[in-house]
Amino acid sequence: MNSSRSVPRGRSKPRRLIIPLGGGLLAAVLIVVGTPHVLWYIRAALAVIAFLYIAGQSDAYLWSSNADQG
């Protein structure tokens, strides 16, 4: 059966990254803005960790529901 849920579209791949990347970027910016009293390299490390964690969790959550529809 060839339904729209079972056939992924090649064009939608860049669009699916908007929410995870946007959320990760927002988390990183909030870390940097919210911690002005912390040394810059610790803030940078925390921002990178927040970006990777939030973006990864969002991406995993958004795509976990597609595997269950199979």
- With bands split at pLDDT 50, 70 and 90, how would you rate the model's confidence at 1? low
Q: What is the pLDDT of residues 29-41, one digit of tens each?
A: 999 999 999 999 9
Assess if residue 51 is contained within a domain: yes
**Domain carrying residue 31:** 17-64
- With bands split at pLDDT 50, 70 and 90, how would you rate the model's confidence at 48? very high
Assess if residue 29 is contained within a domain: yes
Rounded alpha-carbon distances, angstroms, from residue 42 to 8, 25, 27, 54, 66: 40, 17, 15, 18, 37
Handedness of CA 52, 54, 58, 61 (dihedral sign): positive
Domain count, the chain: 1
pLDDT at residue 39, rounded to an integer: 96
As a whole number, mean pLDDT of residues 40-44 equals 96
Assess if residue 2 is contained within a domain: no
Assess if residue 1 is contained within a domain: no
Assess if residue 6 is contained within a domain: no
pLDDT at residue 26, rounded to an integer: 95
